Amino acid sequence: MTIRKATASYEAWLGEQIPLLKEGLERKHHLMRSGMFPFLRATYYRWVQLWVQAPQAVRTAKEVLAVGDLHVENFGTWRDAEGRLVWGVNDFDEAFRLPYTNDLVRLATSARLAVAEGHLTVNGEVEGAILAGYREGLEAGGRPFVLAEHWKALRRMALEQLGHPDKFWDKLGDLPTVAADQIPRSAVKALGELLAEGGVNLRYAVREAGLGSLGRQRFVVIADWCGGKVAREAKALARSASLWATEGEGGAKALYREILDKAVRAQDPFVTVKRRWIARRLAPDCARIELAELEKEKEAERLLHAMGWETANVHLGSATAAALLLDLVSRPDGWLHKAVEEMLTEVREDWEAWKKEAAPAKN
What confidence score (pLDDT) does residue 188 get?
96
Q: What is the pLDDT of residue 330?
A: 95
Q: At what angle do helices 126-139 and 335-358 cross, to 10 degrees?
A: 130
97 pLDDT band, cuts 50/70/90, is: very high
Q: Is the pLDDT of residue 249 over 60?
A: no
What is the Cα–Cα distance from 197 to 133, expressed in whole angstroms?
41
CB 240 within 8 A of CB 255: yes
Residues 242-268, mean pLDDT to the nearest whole number: 86
Residue % of the chain over a pLDDT of 70: 95
pLDDT attached to residue 263: 97
**Structural domain spans, the chain:** 3-358
Decide: 12 and 233 in contact? Cβ < 8 Å. no
Q: How far, in Å, are 31, 32, 90, 221, 361 from residue 35 at the CA level? A: 8, 7, 23, 33, 20
Q: Across residues 233-258, what is the average pLDDT?
A: 86
The answer, yes or no, to whether residue 250 has pLDDT greater than 60, is: no
Distance of CA 345 to the CA centre of its chain: 22
Kindly state the DSSP code that residue 184 receives in the 8-state scheme.
-
At 35-71, the pLDDT tens digits run 999 999 999 999 999 998 888 889 999 999 999 999 9
Pick the closest to residue 308 from 338, 336, 346, 331 (CA basis): 336
Residue 161 clears pLDDT 90, i.e. is over it: no
Q: What is the pLDDT of residues 119-145, one digit of tens each?
A: 888 877 899 999 999 999 999 999 999
Helix (H) or strand (E) holding 32: none
pLDDT band at 362 (very low <50, low <70, confident <90, very high): very low
Rounded to whole angstroms, the Cα distance separating 20 from 290 reads: 29
Q: How many CB atoms lie within 10 A of CB 13?
A: 16
- Which of 1-10, 108-117, 120-129, 345-354 is the least confident region? 120-129
The reported pLDDT for the residue numbered 363 is: 37
Judge whether residue 277 has pLDDT over 70: yes
pLDDT in tens, 327-341: 999 999 999 999 999
pLDDT at 257: 93
For the chain, report the end-to-end CA distance as a whole number of angstroms. Answer: 29
Which backbone phi and psi does 281 adopt, to 5 degrees?
A: -80, 140
